[in-house]
Structure 1
Amino acid sequence: MTRLTIVAFDGTRHELDAANGSTVMENAVRNSVPGIEAECGGACACATCHVYVDDAWSEKVGPPAAMEEDMLDFAFDVRPTSRLSCQIKVSDALDGLVVHVPERQG
C-alpha cells in the first residue's frame, strides 16, 4: 500500500492507504474526500478531479500528458502543478504523495 495525503480546501488532511495501480481520484472518491467530484468517472473527459500536486512531489509525479493538458483548460485556477487526479497512478514511487484540492472544480 502507498500512503497518500489529500488536503481539502479547508485544510483538512485525508491520509489514505492506496493500492498501487489505482488512481488518486479513485481513492479520493472511495474515501469521500470533499471537492473531488469526478463527474466522468476517471475517463479524462472533464476537469472535476483537478488537484494541485505539492511542490515537493511535482517532479516525481511529472507533467500532464497532452489529453490531460487539454482538459485542464476547463479547470478552475490552473497552476503549474495542476493535474487531474484521475491521471495520477499510485505506485511505490509516490509513497507519501501530497495533493491539494482547489477551492472549487470547474
Structure 2
Amino acid sequence: MAKITFITRNGEKITVEGNDGSLMELAKQNNIKGIDGDCGGVCSCATCHVHVDPAYFEKTGTASEIENDMLELDDNVGEYSRLSCQIPVSDALDGLVLQVAN
C-alpha cells in the first residue's frame, strides 16, 4: 500500500493510502480540494492537474501525447505537471508528494 501526500493550494498536507486505481480516484475518495476529475479520468479536462515532487517524477511514468495536449491548455503547467487521472497507484509511489495545481 502506498502513502501519498497531497498538498492543497492553501498549503494543507493530506496523506492518504491506496493500492489501486489512479491518483485522481484516490484524491476524490479522500475529498482532496482542487482535484475535481470532472471527466471521470478519461484525460479530457485537466481538473486533476498536479505538480509531482521532482524526486518522484520518473516513478510516475511518462505522460502520453493526449495528456500533454491537455496540460498545454492549463495556465499553471510546469516541468513536473501531470494529470493525476493518468498515474496509477502502485507501491513504487510510496512516499510520493503532489502539489494540487487547481
TM range (shorter): over 0.9
Contact 1:18 1:90 in 2 (8 A): yes
> Distance between the aligned counterparts of 1:34 and 1:74, measured in 2?
21
> Distance between the aligned counterparts of 2:75 and 2:47, measured in 1?
9
TM-score (norm 1): 0.90
Aligned with 1:43: secondary structure? coil
Question: 1:62 Cα shift?
Answer: 2.9
Q: How does 1:75-94 map to 2 (within 5 A)?
A: 75-94=74-93
Alignment identity in percent? 46
Unaligned runs of 5+ in 2: none
TM-score (norm 2): 0.94
> Distance between the aligned counterparts of 2:75 and 2:96, measured in 1?
22
Aligned with 2:16: secondary structure? strand
Task: Output the amino acid matched with 1:78.
Answer: V
Question: 1:57 Cα shift?
Answer: 0.8
Structure 2 partner of 1:13: 13
> Distance between the aligned counterparts of 1:75 and 1:91, measured in 2?
26
Question: 1:70 Cα shift?
Answer: 0.8
Q: How does 1:17-56 map to 2 (within 5 A)?
A: 17-20=17-20, 22-56=21-55
Question: 1:16 Cα shift?
Answer: 0.3
Contact 1:48 1:75 in 2 (8 A): no
Structure 1 partner of 2:70: 71
> Distance between the aligned counterparts of 2:60 and 2:38, measured in 1?
23
Please identify runs of 4+ aligned residues in structure 1 that moved more than 6 A: none
Contact 2:19 2:91 in 1 (8 A): no
Unaligned runs of 5+ in 1: none
